[in-house]
Structure 1
Amino acid sequence: MEMDAPCSELAGSGARPILVCVTGATGYIASWLVGSLIRRGYDVHATTRDAGKASWLVSALGGYKSRVKIFEADLNKDGSFDEAVKNCQFVLHVAASMQFDISAQENIEEQVKTRILEPALRGAINVLQACARAGSVKRVVFTSSISTITGKDDAGDWRSIIDESSSESITRVWKMKPKGWVYVISKLLTEEKAFQFAKEKGIDLVSIIPPTVAGPFLTPSLPASLRVLLSPITGDPQFYPILASVNSRLGSIPLVHIEDICNAHIFLMEQAEAEGRYICSAGSCSIPELTDLLSSNYPTFSSKIFDENCCKTRYPVVSSKKLTDLGFKFKYGASDIIQQSVACSVEDGFLR
């Protein structure tokens, strides 16, 4: 899928384009974000672990490809991001491991610490150190995850409103080890460490908290978040438990369209008064509501295979009020997101 035609005014018309670094540029959100920035008139330094595998991204950008420069950078190598961040005014740190679980049978917690958590923390610090050294970076936007948020309070009761303060407990995740717990711990710790380091170094950092991101995609294969969303149709034994885990933690499946999450990244990058964390969710579905929407857009799938009484209770509201109060507006709702996700997955051949 090729990027659309220009959809907004060029940033700094008549002046030298502002330079933005996007990490993890071959991922789902980051690849779309690169295109969104370029269409707005920004120039982009895009990082990836293997520049040779980024050719599809350059092709997808079509006539805009002259505005992006690809840099090889490894989160686990000190100084790896220095060249990519050099002269950039903004850094959008999207790169992250998408490892949900670990197969180790023994010393699992120690293996998670050494194989996943320590590299993840080191990666976040490497990017921020590059920002500190560059001297040109005005703001860093850190991509967090809804996995850092819970719908239940300390007593285990449902909250009425879920907002940025509704953080998951690292201690509880370590103890309970729910599905996808490795990813949850990784995101909790890296965001916490990023804010701590940024404060120490005087770096202006805000974080954005995406829920399940869906809609069109540029990546060569279907993104993991779409596989999670479509897992009621596919019955995927790896991804459906993740969907169920999100539902059990939040009481629903919060959603955002890929275009909206990228626009929100840029919005928070540009808004000088932005600070702290921002949930970016356009709306939520219970699993029965989700399966009904899926079956209406993909008639060969029947939602009747799911218990009609499942999750019918009223669920907490996942609030993006902090973001919308700042002036952000969502373009797509849940039904649009589901419809486009199914259509793109059929077009791609993932769904028949």
Structure 2
Amino acid sequence: MREGCSKVCVTGASGYIASSLVKKLLAKGHSVHATLRDLSLYTENESKVSLLKSLPQSEGKLVLFEADIYNPNDFDHAIEGCEFVFHVATPMIHDPGSQQYKNTSEAAMAASKSIALSCVRAGTVKRLIYTASVVSASSLKEDGSGFKDAMDETCWTPLNDSLAYVYPDDPFYKDYTYSKTLSEKHVLSYGNDENGGGLEVVTLPCGLVGGDTLQSSTPVSGVVCIAQIMQDARAYISLKFLKKLLGKIPLVHIDDVCEAHIFCMESTSISGRFLCASSYISLEEMANHFALHYPEFNVKQEYEDELKKDIKWASTKLCDKGFVYKYDAKMILDDCIKCARRMGDL
């Protein structure tokens, strides 16, 4: 493992994962270039800027840069002089005012390409670490006829019409899945001498992330984790979508996600794709946990398809490298409930 402090860049730094990552990086003594879409001190922007500036060890170690995914060349200055780049930012909803891109996939692809090229141009960046999503790693067969026996790093979500039945009516789900799948494949293409000039590239397709937050509201992914006891129809639709796409729900704690990113930075040499989730459980198992430990809530009943129960989580690549998860499914779900209660959502 590497020793010493580095200058690093984190894109989308005010987001759920990125803000916690920035806090951990600062605590370890690293200098952080943090990008936000807008640094003007108005309404929500002010709270995002103040959140980052108020982090311990931020003074003298944290520099904020304005950079927008829809203007990907903005990231050059933030990446300049950095040794490691964490590309966490992703467009969730398409900007209808964009003249450049027709959807989120195009915007995300352009940003990933530009950020990778910025890393190459900088001449100082050793490794690009991309925060991917398990929506890119479905074990569904290409013809949509069912699931493969296991889910691991060899699985890529088929992007074809045979999976139309998986997506809810809301176009967000298909757009997001395509965006994260295409972007991850593109980022990985820079992990070779031909495209990346020796740049090491790591992608971390993260499971459904739960736990506490530095933000002022319960994270969307945390709400989805406990959708079976929340009065939130969209969150439950999202949970059912993940089950249809992935067979079961890969869960990972926010603390483990951030530690996995830092582990990939501190490793002497590492590249490639590493699925990031500590648990792979059914909706039935989640509902049973809530019913047993939180009888005060009205829990949605779930009945599992036997075929989907047989799918195995076969990803061990990250742990084989020496990474250790600290949080199991129970701890993740319990921390989501604590967070939602603290925010007044339960």
Deviates more, 1:154-163 or 1:258-267: 154-163
Q: Which residue of 2 aligns with 1:257?
A: 253
Q: What is the Cα deviation at residue 160 of structure 1?
A: 2.8
Q: What is the Cα deviation at residue 198 of structure 1?
A: 4.8
Give the secondary structure class of the aligned counterpart of 1:279. Answer: coil
Q: What is the Cα deviation at residue 329 of structure 1?
A: 0.4
- C-alpha distance in 2, partners of 1:258/1:70? 23
Q: What is the Cα deviation at residue 47 of structure 1?
A: 0.5
Q: Which residue of 1 aligns with 2:125?
A: 137
Judging changes above 3 Å, is the alpha-carbon distance between structure 1 residues 312 and 232 closer, same or farther for their aligned structure 2 residues? farther
Give the secondary structure class of the aligned counterpart of 1:291. Answer: helix
- Kept in 1, the 8 Å contact 2:243–2:283? The answer is yes
Does 1:67 find its partner at 2:64?
no
Judging changes above 3 Å, is the alpha-carbon distance between structure 1 residues 122 and 139 closer, same or farther for their aligned structure 2 residues? same
Q: In angstroms, what is the RMSD of aligned CA positions?
A: 2.6
Q: Which residue of 1 aligns with 2:330?
A: 335
Structural mapping, 1:1-352, within 5 Å: 11-12=3-4, 17-51=5-39, 52=41, 53=45, 54-99=48-93, 114-154=102-142, 156-172=145-161, 175-176=164-165, 178-179=167-168, 180-199=173-192, 200-202=195-197, 203-303=199-299, 305-307=300-302, 309-311=303-305, 314-351=309-346
Give the secondary structure class of the aligned counterpart of 1:95. Answer: coil
- C-alpha distance in 2, partners of 1:348/1:245? 26
TM-score, normalised relative to structure 1 = 0.86
Q: What is the Cα deviation at residue 102 of structure 1?
A: 11
- Kept in 2, the 8 Å contact 1:231–1:239? The answer is yes
Q: What is the Cα deviation at residue 38 of structure 1?
A: 1.2
- C-alpha distance in 2, partners of 1:274/1:63? 28
- Kept in 2, the 8 Å contact 1:75–1:127? The answer is no
Judging changes above 3 Å, is the alpha-carbon distance between structure 1 residues 98 and 338 closer, same or farther for their aligned structure 2 residues? same
Judging changes above 3 Å, is the alpha-carbon distance between structure 1 residues 243 and 157 closer, same or farther for their aligned structure 2 residues? same
Give the secondary structure class of the aligned counterpart of 1:136. Answer: coil
- Kept in 2, the 8 Å contact 1:297–1:342? The answer is no
- Kept in 1, the 8 Å contact 2:105–2:176? The answer is no
Deviates more, 1:126-135 or 1:267-276: 267-276
- C-alpha distance in 2, partners of 1:264/1:273? 14
Q: What is the Cα deviation at residue 165 of structure 1?
A: 0.6
- C-alpha distance in 2, partners of 1:215/1:295? 19
- Kept in 1, the 8 Å contact 2:6–2:83? The answer is yes
Q: What is the number of residues matched between the two proteins?
A: 329
CA offsets per residue over residues 323-344 of structure 1, 9 Å max, x none?
1001100011000111111011
Q: What is the Cα deviation at residue 322 of structure 1?
A: 0.7
Deviates more, 1:138-147 or 1:313-322: 313-322
- Kept in 1, the 8 Å contact 2:69–2:91? The answer is no
Give the secondary structure class of the aligned counterpart of 1:254. Answer: strand
- C-alpha distance in 2, partners of 1:131/1:226? 32
- Kept in 2, the 8 Å contact 1:87–1:134? The answer is yes
Give the secondary structure class of the aligned counterpart of 2:130. Answer: strand
- C-alpha distance in 2, partners of 1:154/1:214? 30
Judging changes above 3 Å, is the alpha-carbon distance between structure 1 residues 317 and 177 closer, same or farther for their aligned structure 2 residues? closer
- Kept in 1, the 8 Å contact 2:204–2:274? The answer is yes
Paired AA for residue 321 in structure 2? L
Percent identity over the alignment?
Answer: 33
TM-score, normalised relative to structure 2 = 0.87
- Kept in 2, the 8 Å contact 1:255–1:283? The answer is yes
